[in-house]
Amino acid sequence: MRWLPLVALLAGCPTAAGDVVWEDVEPLVRAECAGCHGGAEPEGGFVIDGPASLVDVASTQTEDMPLVTAGEPLQSYLWHKLENTQRVAGGSGSVMPTSGLLPSEDVDLVEAWIAAGAL
């Protein structure tokens, strides 16, 4: 969480990992993920429709890591996909979103959500 406290303070967002909940992350997911991972024909057959669709759900691209491990960003494949470190984590595929890396403050928000327990 490189800049999360400063960025959050300036943006009026939650400033501590314990303050970040799904409702804080959901607008980002809708804007950046739902286009491919929603609707009638989701990419890879995977729909993101809330924490239950991510937390402790096995990734299809790595055998060793769930999509989200509550409290453990580095053990969360979603975080690696957003950081473009999925191959280092034993996975495959491209960075998410496929349009390119998210701004660091968006990745920091997801990281804070995971660190806070992914609730």
Domain coordinates of the chain in residue numbers? 4-115
Instruction: Say if residues 3 and 108 touch (Cβ distance below 8 Å).
Output: yes
Residue 43: CA count within 13 A, CB half-sphere: 11
**pLDDT at residue 33 in the model:** 92
Q: Which residues contact 57 (CB under 8 A, 6 or more apart)?
A: 66, 67, 68
The residue with greater pLDDT, 43 or 2, is 43
pLDDT in tens, 40-53: 899 888 899 999 99
Coil/strand/helix, residue 24: helix
Rounded to two decimals, the pTM is 0.82
Is residue 1 pLDDT above 50, yes or no? no
* pLDDT band of 81, cuts 50, 70, 90: very high
- C-alpha to C-alpha distance for 78 and 68, rounded to whole angstroms: 6
User: What is the DSSP-derived secondary structure letter of residue 113?
Assistant: H
* pLDDT band of 18, cuts 50, 70, 90: low
Is residue 8 pLDDT above 80, yes or no? no
Tokens in use for 82? 């957003």
